[in-house]
Amino acid sequence: MTSIVLYCRPGFEKECGAEIQEKASWNEMYGYLELYKNEGIVFFHLHQDEHAETLMKKLPLKRLIFARQWFVTLTEKVALPDYNRVEAIVEALGNEWQYADLRMETPDTNDGKALTKFCRKLAVPLRQGLRKSKILTEQGDDDGGVLHALFFSGQEVIFGYSLANNNSRHVMGIPRLRFPNAAPSRSTLKLDEAFLHFIPKEEWDERLTSGMRAVDLGSAPGGWTYQLVRRGMMVTAIDNGPMAESLMETGQVKHLMMDGFKYVPMKQNVYWLVCDMIEKPHRVAWLMAQWLLKGYCKEAMFNLKLPMKGRYQEVVKDLQTIKDEFAKYKVKYELYAKHLYYDREEVTVHARLLSAPPADYE
Ligand SMILES: C[S@@+](CC[C@H](N)C(=O)[O-])C[C@H]1O[C@@H](n2cnc3c(N)ncnc32)[C@H](O)[C@@H]1O
Protein backbone atom coordinates (compact mmCIF):
# COMPACT_ATOMS: atom_id res chain seq x y z
CA MET A 1 0.00 0.00 0.00
CA THR A 2 1.28 3.51 -0.76
CA SER A 3 0.73 6.27 1.73
CA ILE A 4 1.59 9.89 2.27
CA VAL A 5 3.27 10.62 5.58
CA LEU A 6 2.80 14.14 6.92
CA TYR A 7 4.59 15.87 9.79
CA CYS A 8 2.75 18.41 11.94
CA ARG A 9 2.93 19.89 15.42
CA PRO A 10 2.23 17.17 18.03
CA GLY A 11 -1.42 17.46 19.05
CA PHE A 12 -2.55 18.67 15.62
CA GLU A 13 -2.70 15.30 13.88
CA LYS A 14 -6.49 15.48 13.56
CA GLU A 15 -6.35 18.84 11.75
CA CYS A 16 -3.47 17.74 9.54
CA GLY A 17 -5.34 14.55 8.63
CA ALA A 18 -8.67 16.27 8.00
CA GLU A 19 -6.95 18.73 5.69
CA ILE A 20 -5.11 16.22 3.51
CA GLN A 21 -8.20 14.03 3.30
CA GLU A 22 -10.34 16.95 2.23
CA LYS A 23 -7.88 18.28 -0.34
CA ALA A 24 -7.34 14.78 -1.75
CA SER A 25 -11.08 14.28 -2.15
CA TRP A 26 -11.29 17.51 -4.17
CA ASN A 27 -8.93 15.72 -6.56
CA GLU A 28 -11.07 12.57 -6.38
CA MET A 29 -8.47 10.65 -4.46
CA TYR A 30 -9.52 8.78 -1.38
CA GLY A 31 -7.94 6.98 1.51
CA TYR A 32 -8.01 6.55 5.25
CA LEU A 33 -6.02 8.13 8.04
CA GLU A 34 -3.77 6.68 10.67
CA LEU A 35 -2.88 9.30 13.29
CA TYR A 36 0.13 8.98 15.59
CA LYS A 37 -1.46 11.02 18.34
CA ASN A 38 0.81 13.58 20.00
CA GLU A 39 3.73 12.40 17.87
CA GLY A 40 3.14 14.86 15.04
CA ILE A 41 2.79 12.15 12.39
CA VAL A 42 -0.10 11.35 10.09
CA PHE A 43 -0.31 8.50 7.61
CA PHE A 44 -2.76 8.96 4.78
CA HIS A 45 -3.20 5.54 3.18
CA LEU A 46 -4.46 5.93 -0.39
CA HIS A 47 -6.91 3.38 -1.75
CA GLN A 48 -5.09 3.49 -5.09
CA ASP A 49 -1.31 3.25 -4.95
CA GLU A 50 -0.56 5.66 -7.79
CA HIS A 51 -2.64 8.39 -6.13
CA ALA A 52 0.01 9.13 -3.50
CA GLU A 53 2.53 10.42 -6.02
CA THR A 54 -0.11 12.08 -8.19
CA LEU A 55 -1.44 13.95 -5.18
CA MET A 56 2.02 15.05 -4.08
CA LYS A 57 2.64 16.38 -7.59
CA LYS A 58 -0.71 18.18 -7.82
CA LEU A 59 -0.96 19.71 -4.37
CA PRO A 60 1.68 22.26 -3.34
CA LEU A 61 2.88 21.68 0.23
CA LYS A 62 2.59 25.42 0.80
CA ARG A 63 -1.18 25.08 0.30
CA LEU A 64 -1.40 22.76 3.31
CA ILE A 65 -1.83 24.63 6.57
CA PHE A 66 -1.04 22.01 9.18
CA ALA A 67 1.59 19.85 7.41
CA ARG A 68 5.20 20.97 7.81
CA GLN A 69 6.73 18.27 5.66
CA TRP A 70 5.61 15.18 3.78
CA PHE A 71 6.72 12.22 1.76
CA VAL A 72 5.29 9.30 -0.19
CA THR A 73 6.20 5.91 1.27
CA LEU A 74 8.57 3.63 -0.60
CA THR A 75 8.51 0.76 1.89
CA GLU A 76 6.47 -0.58 4.76
CA LYS A 77 8.16 -0.22 8.15
CA VAL A 78 11.56 -1.91 7.93
CA ALA A 79 12.97 -3.81 10.93
CA LEU A 80 16.65 -2.98 11.40
CA PRO A 81 19.23 -5.37 12.84
CA ASP A 82 21.57 -4.23 15.65
CA TYR A 83 24.58 -4.53 13.32
CA ASN A 84 25.13 -3.87 9.61
CA ARG A 85 22.26 -1.44 9.47
CA VAL A 86 23.57 0.29 6.36
CA GLU A 87 23.56 -2.98 4.41
CA ALA A 88 20.03 -3.73 5.60
CA ILE A 89 18.84 -0.30 4.47
CA VAL A 90 20.52 -0.55 1.06
CA GLU A 91 18.89 -3.91 0.56
CA ALA A 92 15.45 -2.65 1.61
CA LEU A 93 15.65 0.26 -0.84
CA GLY A 94 16.82 -1.74 -3.88
CA ASN A 95 18.58 0.10 -6.70
CA GLU A 96 15.75 1.08 -8.99
CA TRP A 97 15.60 4.77 -8.05
CA GLN A 98 18.09 7.51 -7.28
CA TYR A 99 17.73 10.44 -4.91
CA ALA A 100 19.52 13.74 -4.66
CA ASP A 101 19.48 14.04 -0.87
CA LEU A 102 18.71 12.21 2.34
CA ARG A 103 16.64 13.44 5.31
CA MET A 104 16.87 11.45 8.52
CA GLU A 105 13.80 12.21 10.59
CA THR A 106 12.06 11.17 13.80
CA PRO A 107 8.73 11.90 15.47
CA ASP A 108 8.71 15.37 17.10
CA THR A 109 8.52 13.93 20.65
CA ASN A 110 10.96 13.51 23.53
CA ASP A 111 11.62 9.92 22.45
CA GLY A 112 12.13 11.20 18.92
CA LYS A 113 14.61 13.80 20.15
CA ALA A 114 16.53 11.09 21.97
CA LEU A 115 16.82 9.28 18.62
CA THR A 116 18.55 12.18 16.89
CA LYS A 117 21.87 11.16 18.47
CA PHE A 118 21.46 7.72 16.94
CA CYS A 119 20.59 9.31 13.57
CA ARG A 120 23.64 11.59 13.67
CA LYS A 121 25.91 8.60 14.26
CA LEU A 122 24.35 6.64 11.43
CA ALA A 123 24.26 9.56 8.99
CA VAL A 124 27.84 9.43 7.66
CA PRO A 125 28.10 5.67 7.03
CA LEU A 126 24.56 5.62 5.66
CA ARG A 127 25.21 8.40 3.16
CA GLN A 128 28.42 6.69 2.09
CA GLY A 129 26.64 3.37 1.67
CA LEU A 130 23.79 4.92 -0.30
CA ARG A 131 26.23 6.75 -2.59
CA LYS A 132 28.28 3.65 -3.17
CA SER A 133 25.20 1.75 -4.24
CA LYS A 134 24.05 4.74 -6.35
CA ILE A 135 20.84 5.24 -4.35
CA LEU A 136 22.09 8.74 -3.55
CA THR A 137 23.55 10.80 -6.39
CA GLU A 138 26.76 12.77 -6.01
CA GLN A 139 26.79 15.79 -3.68
CA GLY A 140 25.67 19.08 -5.12
CA ASP A 141 22.93 17.61 -7.28
CA ASP A 142 19.77 19.35 -6.03
CA ASP A 143 17.28 18.20 -8.64
CA GLY A 144 15.09 15.22 -8.24
CA GLY A 145 13.70 13.36 -5.31
CA VAL A 146 14.66 13.58 -1.66
CA LEU A 147 14.89 10.33 0.26
CA HIS A 148 13.28 10.38 3.72
CA ALA A 149 14.10 7.92 6.47
CA LEU A 150 11.67 8.26 9.36
CA PHE A 151 13.06 6.43 12.39
CA PHE A 152 10.53 5.31 14.99
CA SER A 153 13.36 3.69 16.98
CA GLY A 154 16.83 2.31 16.33
CA GLN A 155 15.12 -0.86 15.16
CA GLU A 156 12.31 0.51 13.02
CA VAL A 157 12.33 2.88 10.07
CA ILE A 158 10.13 3.70 7.11
CA PHE A 159 11.40 5.13 3.81
CA GLY A 160 9.80 7.50 1.38
CA TYR A 161 10.55 10.34 -0.97
CA SER A 162 9.44 13.89 -1.61
CA LEU A 163 9.96 16.15 -4.61
CA ALA A 164 12.70 18.75 -4.29
CA ASN A 165 10.40 21.46 -5.70
CA ASN A 166 7.47 20.58 -3.44
CA ASN A 167 8.81 19.87 0.03
CA SER A 168 10.26 21.77 2.95
CA ARG A 169 14.00 22.26 2.71
CA HIS A 170 14.20 21.70 6.46
CA VAL A 171 14.42 18.32 8.16
CA MET A 172 10.87 17.54 9.39
CA GLY A 173 9.92 20.97 8.08
CA ILE A 174 11.51 22.60 11.15
CA PRO A 175 13.81 25.59 10.72
CA ARG A 176 16.14 25.96 13.68
CA LEU A 177 16.23 29.66 14.52
CA ARG A 178 18.44 31.27 17.11
CA PHE A 179 16.68 33.40 19.69
CA PRO A 180 18.26 36.88 19.51
CA ASN A 181 19.23 37.97 23.04
CA ALA A 182 18.18 41.54 22.40
CA ALA A 183 14.59 40.58 21.50
CA PRO A 184 12.03 41.34 24.22
CA SER A 185 9.95 38.16 23.81
CA ARG A 186 10.17 34.66 22.40
CA SER A 187 7.32 35.56 20.02
CA THR A 188 10.01 37.19 17.92
CA LEU A 189 10.83 33.78 16.45
CA LYS A 190 7.30 33.51 15.03
CA LEU A 191 7.73 36.54 12.80
CA ASP A 192 11.30 35.59 11.94
CA GLU A 193 10.10 32.17 10.79
CA ALA A 194 7.11 33.69 8.98
CA PHE A 195 9.34 35.96 6.87
CA LEU A 196 11.62 33.03 6.08
CA HIS A 197 8.71 30.81 5.19
CA PHE A 198 6.50 33.13 3.16
CA ILE A 199 8.87 35.59 1.51
CA PRO A 200 11.48 34.15 -0.87
CA LYS A 201 14.96 35.30 0.17
CA GLU A 202 15.74 36.64 -3.28
CA GLU A 203 12.83 39.11 -2.84
CA TRP A 204 13.87 40.42 0.57
CA ASP A 205 15.68 43.41 -0.96
CA GLU A 206 12.39 44.56 -2.41
CA ARG A 207 9.83 43.38 0.12
CA LEU A 208 11.59 43.36 3.49
CA THR A 209 14.00 46.15 3.49
CA SER A 210 15.40 49.08 5.37
CA GLY A 211 13.44 52.34 5.27
CA MET A 212 10.02 50.70 4.92
CA ARG A 213 7.18 51.70 7.22
CA ALA A 214 5.40 49.06 9.25
CA VAL A 215 2.52 48.87 11.70
CA ASP A 216 2.49 46.25 14.46
CA LEU A 217 -0.95 45.66 16.00
CA GLY A 218 -0.81 44.02 19.44
CA SER A 219 2.90 44.78 19.63
CA ALA A 220 3.84 44.61 23.33
CA PRO A 221 6.42 43.90 24.55
CA GLY A 222 7.95 44.07 21.07
CA GLY A 223 9.17 40.70 19.79
CA TRP A 224 7.65 41.30 16.35
CA THR A 225 8.59 44.98 16.33
CA TYR A 226 12.16 43.85 17.02
CA GLN A 227 12.18 41.86 13.74
CA LEU A 228 11.01 44.93 11.81
CA VAL A 229 13.44 47.28 13.56
CA ARG A 230 16.39 44.98 12.96
CA ARG A 231 15.54 45.09 9.26
CA GLY A 232 15.79 48.87 9.39
CA MET A 233 12.06 49.67 9.28
CA MET A 234 10.18 52.50 10.99
CA VAL A 235 7.44 50.97 13.11
CA THR A 236 4.20 52.23 14.59
CA ALA A 237 3.51 49.89 17.50
CA ILE A 238 -0.08 49.69 18.75
CA ASP A 239 -0.78 48.17 22.15
CA ASN A 240 -2.05 49.30 25.54
CA GLY A 241 0.80 47.33 27.09
CA PRO A 242 4.35 48.70 27.44
CA MET A 243 7.02 48.29 24.77
CA ALA A 244 10.59 47.30 25.67
CA GLU A 245 12.76 50.35 26.40
CA SER A 246 15.56 48.99 24.21
CA LEU A 247 13.26 49.22 21.18
CA MET A 248 12.03 52.69 21.99
CA GLU A 249 15.65 53.85 22.27
CA THR A 250 16.34 52.93 18.64
CA GLY A 251 14.26 55.93 17.55
CA GLN A 252 12.59 53.69 14.95
CA VAL A 253 9.46 52.98 17.00
CA LYS A 254 6.42 55.12 17.71
CA HIS A 255 4.23 53.55 20.39
CA LEU A 256 0.50 54.35 20.48
CA MET A 257 -1.54 53.04 23.40
CA MET A 258 -4.81 52.33 21.71
CA ASP A 259 -7.12 49.67 20.32
CA GLY A 260 -5.66 47.98 17.22
CA PHE A 261 -9.14 47.77 15.69
CA LYS A 262 -9.52 51.54 15.82
CA TYR A 263 -6.12 52.64 14.55
CA VAL A 264 -6.09 54.12 11.06
CA PRO A 265 -2.78 55.18 9.50
CA MET A 266 -2.58 58.88 8.59
CA LYS A 267 -0.74 58.34 5.32
CA GLN A 268 -0.81 55.56 2.77
CA ASN A 269 2.89 54.84 3.16
CA VAL A 270 2.79 51.67 5.24
CA TYR A 271 4.30 48.63 3.56
CA TRP A 272 3.97 45.95 6.25
CA LEU A 273 1.09 45.33 8.60
CA VAL A 274 1.86 42.69 11.21
CA CYS A 275 -0.65 41.59 13.81
CA ASP A 276 -0.35 39.28 16.78
CA MET A 277 -3.34 40.56 18.79
CA ILE A 278 -4.95 37.96 21.00
CA GLU A 279 -8.40 38.36 19.56
CA LYS A 280 -11.14 36.35 17.92
CA PRO A 281 -9.68 35.06 14.65
CA HIS A 282 -12.63 36.07 12.50
CA ARG A 283 -12.29 39.69 13.72
CA VAL A 284 -8.59 39.69 12.88
CA ALA A 285 -9.23 38.14 9.45
CA TRP A 286 -11.79 40.80 8.65
CA LEU A 287 -9.51 43.61 9.83
CA MET A 288 -6.65 42.34 7.66
CA ALA A 289 -8.90 42.22 4.57
CA GLN A 290 -9.95 45.80 5.30
CA TRP A 291 -6.39 47.08 5.58
CA LEU A 292 -5.41 45.52 2.26
CA LEU A 293 -8.52 46.57 0.36
CA LYS A 294 -8.34 50.12 1.69
CA GLY A 295 -4.71 50.27 0.58
CA TYR A 296 -3.50 50.97 4.13
CA CYS A 297 -0.66 48.45 3.66
CA LYS A 298 0.90 46.40 0.88
CA GLU A 299 1.45 43.14 2.72
CA ALA A 300 0.08 41.67 5.92
CA MET A 301 1.49 38.97 8.19
CA PHE A 302 -0.78 37.93 11.01
CA ASN A 303 -1.73 35.23 13.44
CA LEU A 304 -5.14 33.64 13.75
CA LYS A 305 -5.50 32.33 17.28
CA LEU A 306 -7.16 28.91 17.25
CA PRO A 307 -10.18 27.92 19.34
CA MET A 308 -10.12 24.80 21.55
CA LYS A 309 -12.38 22.89 19.20
CA GLY A 310 -12.93 22.85 15.44
CA ARG A 311 -9.51 24.38 14.81
CA TYR A 312 -9.24 23.38 11.15
CA GLN A 313 -12.80 24.51 10.41
CA GLU A 314 -12.16 27.88 12.07
CA VAL A 315 -9.09 28.60 9.96
CA VAL A 316 -10.84 27.57 6.76
CA LYS A 317 -13.80 29.81 7.63
CA ASP A 318 -11.60 32.81 8.44
CA LEU A 319 -9.57 32.45 5.25
CA GLN A 320 -12.80 32.17 3.31
CA THR A 321 -13.98 35.47 4.81
CA ILE A 322 -10.89 37.14 3.38
CA LYS A 323 -11.19 35.39 0.00
CA ASP A 324 -14.87 36.34 -0.31
CA GLU A 325 -14.12 39.97 0.40
CA PHE A 326 -11.27 40.00 -2.13
CA ALA A 327 -13.47 38.26 -4.70
CA LYS A 328 -16.25 40.81 -4.21
CA TYR A 329 -13.85 43.53 -5.38
CA LYS A 330 -12.23 41.31 -8.03
CA VAL A 331 -8.71 41.93 -6.82
CA LYS A 332 -5.87 39.53 -7.51
CA TYR A 333 -4.17 38.34 -4.37
CA GLU A 334 -1.83 35.91 -2.65
CA LEU A 335 -2.99 34.25 0.56
CA TYR A 336 -1.16 31.47 2.37
CA ALA A 337 -1.51 30.10 5.87
CA LYS A 338 0.82 27.82 7.79
CA HIS A 339 1.03 26.33 11.23
CA LEU A 340 4.68 27.27 11.68
CA TYR A 341 7.10 25.53 14.01
CA TYR A 342 7.22 28.47 16.44
CA ASP A 343 3.42 28.86 16.40
CA ARG A 344 1.45 27.22 19.16
CA GLU A 345 -2.35 27.53 19.29
CA GLU A 346 -2.36 29.77 16.22
CA VAL A 347 -1.56 29.75 12.53
CA THR A 348 0.33 32.41 10.63
CA VAL A 349 -1.14 33.97 7.51
CA HIS A 350 0.47 36.03 4.79
CA ALA A 351 -1.68 38.12 2.44
CA ARG A 352 -1.06 40.73 -0.23
CA LEU A 353 -2.90 42.12 -3.19
CA LEU A 354 -1.35 41.55 -6.60
CA SER A 355 -3.53 44.19 -8.24
CA ALA A 356 -4.40 47.71 -7.16
CA PRO A 357 -6.91 48.02 -4.30
CA PRO A 358 -10.37 49.08 -5.44
CA ALA A 359 -10.81 52.85 -5.67
CA ASP A 360 -14.35 52.70 -4.25
CA TYR A 361 -13.79 50.48 -1.20
CA GLU A 362 -15.96 51.51 1.73
C1 LIG B 1 0.80 37.72 22.01
S2 LIG B 1 0.91 39.35 22.57
C3 LIG B 1 1.90 40.09 21.36
C4 LIG B 1 3.32 39.76 21.48
C5 LIG B 1 4.17 40.55 20.50
N6 LIG B 1 3.88 40.19 19.11
C7 LIG B 1 5.63 40.30 20.76
O8 LIG B 1 6.27 39.67 19.91
O9 LIG B 1 6.14 40.74 21.78
C10 LIG B 1 -0.65 39.99 22.22
C11 LIG B 1 -0.81 41.45 22.48
O12 LIG B 1 -2.02 41.87 21.87
C13 LIG B 1 -2.49 42.97 22.60
N14 LIG B 1 -3.88 43.20 22.23
C15 LIG B 1 -4.95 42.39 22.37
N16 LIG B 1 -6.06 43.00 21.89
C17 LIG B 1 -5.66 44.20 21.40
C18 LIG B 1 -6.33 45.29 20.78
N19 LIG B 1 -7.64 45.23 20.54
N20 LIG B 1 -5.60 46.35 20.40
C21 LIG B 1 -4.28 46.41 20.63
N22 LIG B 1 -3.60 45.41 21.23
C23 LIG B 1 -4.29 44.33 21.60
C24 LIG B 1 -2.24 42.57 24.05
O25 LIG B 1 -2.19 43.72 24.88
C26 LIG B 1 -0.92 41.84 23.96
O27 LIG B 1 0.16 42.68 24.29
pLDDT tens digits in sequence order for the chain, 362 residues long: 899 999 999 999 999 999 999 999 999 999 999 999 999 999 999 999 999 999 999 999 999 999 999 999 999 999 999 989 999 999 999 988 899 999 999 999 999 999 999 999 999 999 999 999 999 987 656 667 999 999 999 999 999 999 999 999 999 999 999 999 999 999 999 999 999 999 999 999 999 999 999 999 999 999 999 999 999 999 999 999 999 999 999 999 999 999 999 999 999 999 999 999 999 999 999 999 999 999 999 999 999 999 889 999 999 999 999 999 999 999 999 999 999 999 999 999 999 999 999 998 87
Helix, strand or coil, per DSSP, at residue 119: helix
Closest C-alpha residue for ligand 1 atom 7: 223
Distance 345 CA to ligand 1 centre (A): 15
Annotated active-site positions, please?
Answer: 305
Does the CB atom of residue 238 touch ligand 1 within 6 A?
A: yes
How far apart are the C-alpha atoms of 227 and 194, rounded to whole Å?
Answer: 11
234 lies in some domain = yes
Please state the separation of Cα 90 from the chain's center in Å.
32
359 lines ligand 1 (CB under 6 A): no
Domain finish residue from 173, 201, 216: 173
pLDDT at 138: 76
pLDDT at 144: 74
Please check whether residue 300 lies inside any domain of the structure: yes
139: domain range? 3-173
102 plus 139 within the same structural domain:
yes
Quote the CA–CA distance of 19 and 128 in Å, as a whole number: 38
Asked if residue 249 and residue 102 are part of one domain, the reply reads: no
317: in domain? yes
- Going from the Cα of 224 to the center of ligand 1, the distance in angstroms, rounded, reads 10
Residues 158 and 269 in one domain: no
DSSP of 72-109: EESSS-EEPPSS-HHHHHHHHH-SS--BSEEEEE--SS
Residue 80 · residue 88 · CB < 8 Å: yes
Let me know whether 166 and 246 are in one domain: no
CA dihedral 110, 116, 117, 119 (to 10 degrees): 150
Per-residue model confidence (pLDDT) at position 362: 76
> Does residue 284 lie in a domain region?
yes
Closest ligand 1 atom to 238 CA: 21
220 lines ligand 1 (CB under 6 A): yes
DSSP 8-state code for residue 191: H
What pLDDT was estimated at residue 139? 67
Q: What is the CATH number of the domain that holds 68?
A: 3.30.70.2810
Q: Would you call 177 helix, strand, or coil by DSSP?
A: coil
The alpha-carbon radius of gyration of the chain (Å, integer) is 22
Query: Does residue 133 line the site of ligand 1, with CB under 6 A?
Result: no
| Predicted local distance difference test score (pLDDT) of residue 142 | 61
CA nearest to 103, candidates 138, 144, 70, 148: 148
Task: Kindly report the protein residue whose alpha carbon is nearest to atom 16 of ligand 1.
Answer: 277
Whether residue 310 sits in one domain with residue 198: yes
Are residue 155 and residue 262 in the same domain, yes or no? no
User: Ligand 1 atom closest to Cα of 191?
Assistant: 8
Exposure class string for 347-360: b at 16+ Cβ within 10 A, else e: bbbbbbbeeebbee
Q: Is residue 223 lining ligand 1, measured as CB closer than 6 Å? A: yes
Domain membership of residue 222 (yes or no) is: yes
Residue of 188, 227, 239 best suited for mutating to test ligand 1, as the one with most atoms within 8 Å of CB: 239
CATH of the domain at 329: 3.40.50.150
Write down the pLDDT at residue 72. 97
- Asked if 162 and 204 sit in the same domain, the reply is no
Give 219 Cα–ligand 1 centroid separation in angstroms: 5
SS3 assignment, position 217: strand
Same-domain check for residues 200 and 140: no
276 Cα–ligand 1 center, Å = 6
Residue 195 and residue 329 in one domain = yes
**Calpha distance 146→160 (Å, rounded):** 8
The tally of CA atoms less than 13 A away on the side-chain side of residue 229 is: 26
Backbone conformation region of residue 134, classed left if phi is above 0, alpha if psi is from -120 to 50, else beta: left
Q: How far is the CA of 189 from the centre of ligand 1 (A)?
A: 16
Q: For the chain, what is the domain count?
A: 2
For ligand 1, say whether the CB of 188 is within 6 Å of any of its atoms. yes
Decide if 153 is inside a domain.
yes
Closest by Cα among 265, 253, 172, 196 to 219: 253
Q: Write out pLDDT tens, residues 133-174.
A: 999 987 656 667 999 999 999 999 999 999 999 999 999 999
